[in-house]
Amino acid sequence: MLLAFLALTLWGQWLGTGLAAEVLSADGSGLRVIALLTPLFFGALAIARANPALRLMVFPVSFLPAMALLTEREWAAMAEPVALLASAATFVSYLVVAAIGDDLRETPGQMPTEVHATDSLASRYRVFVRTRALVVIGVLAVLVWMIFVDPNIGRTLVEKAGERATLHLTFISVVMLFAWVVMAYMAAVLPSLNWEYERRQPVLTRGQSRLLESPGVLKRRVVGWVVATAMMVVLGMQMVVTLP
């Protein structure tokens, strides 16, 4: 439930205003509406199918086509300091919950009982991950200060861009946000995932064995991924063709 709430909140923060404006507009674009609703589809799929690739890669990437179609006013609204910090906090919370969530949902009788060799390193690994998390938080604080607090950067943007300074600030903010999210994932979330994978490896092995014993389920999953990929490619090509 928490993951679904975070996914829906993230969609509302990034694309909710755009969808409302498109629905209320007299000359709205159906393609733009589809692009704005696409993350909801993949978000629902990621919640229903506890798949790390869906939750950590496909769902976040599905926002990019819709964000490419946002208007300048919508970008400016997203670049407001409070809105940007709120969306960043929601995005990071979503990644953390999606990464550490109990996706396998096995009963206690199905959980592995053997002792892992990595258990003795748990305390050291926690210190390692928490130290990196502190560095990531520090980098975010520096970026926020540079973009929204330092007067020199704002003054330089006004001198160089004039009336388009707000648009440039929006672009810089979004790029920095995504760069920071990638850094946070690589520096803090990925080590946590590696540790979790080591702990869950016996469970994953049994899950793969059950899947291989059911070729029909495996075929349906492969066909589903192929169809979803084809739909994304077609939708992306249509967006490229219709862009001004």
- 62: closest CA among 33, 44, 39? 39
- pLDDT reading at 134 higher than 80: yes
pLDDT of residue 16: 87
Q: Region 117-141: what's the mean pLDDT?
A: 74
Q: Region 211-236: what's the mean pLDDT?
A: 75
Residue 235 banded pLDDT, cuts 50, 70, 90: low
CA dihedral 172, 174, 176, 180 (to 10 degrees): 180
Nearby residues of 56 by Cβ (< 8 Å), 6 or more positions away: 95, 98, 99, 185
Assign 114 to helix, strand or coil: coil
Give me the half-sphere count of Cα atoms (radius 13 Å) on the Cβ side of residue 90: 18
More confident residue, 193 or 37: 37
Nearby residues of 25 by Cβ (< 8 Å), 6 or more positions away: none
CA triple 50-43-47, angle to 5 deg: 30
Residue 9 banded pLDDT, cuts 50, 70, 90: very high
More confident residue, 136 or 204: 136
pLDDT of residue 8: 92
Say if residues 75 and 167 touch (Cβ distance below 8 Å).
yes
Q: Where are the alpha helices (DSSP H) in 101-189?
A: 122-144, 151-161, 165-184
pLDDT, averaged across the chain: 76
More confident residue, 178 or 105: 178
Residue 106 banded pLDDT, cuts 50, 70, 90: very low
User: Residue with structure tokens 């690994």?
Assistant: 125
pLDDT of residue 29: 74
pLDDT of residue 155: 80
At 78, which helix (H) or strand (E)?
Answer: helix 72-78
User: Residue with structure tokens 């029909």?
Assistant: 216
More confident residue, 121 or 180: 180
pLDDT of residue 112: 46
CA dist., res. 79 & res. 182, Å (int)? 19
Q: Region 102-128: what's the mean pLDDT?
A: 54
Q: What are the contacts of 207-216 at 24+ separation with CB within 8 A?
A: 207/104
- Per the structure block, which two tokens stand in for 19? 């969808």
- pLDDT reading at 195 higher than 80: no
Structure confidence by residue, pLDDT tens digits, 37-88 = 999 999 898 888 877 778 877 888 888 888 888 888 888 888 787 888 888 8
Q: Which of 71-80, 193-202, 233-242 has the highest mean pLDDT?
A: 71-80
- Per the structure block, which two tokens stand in for 149? 């607090």
- Per the structure block, which two tokens stand in for 25? 């507009």
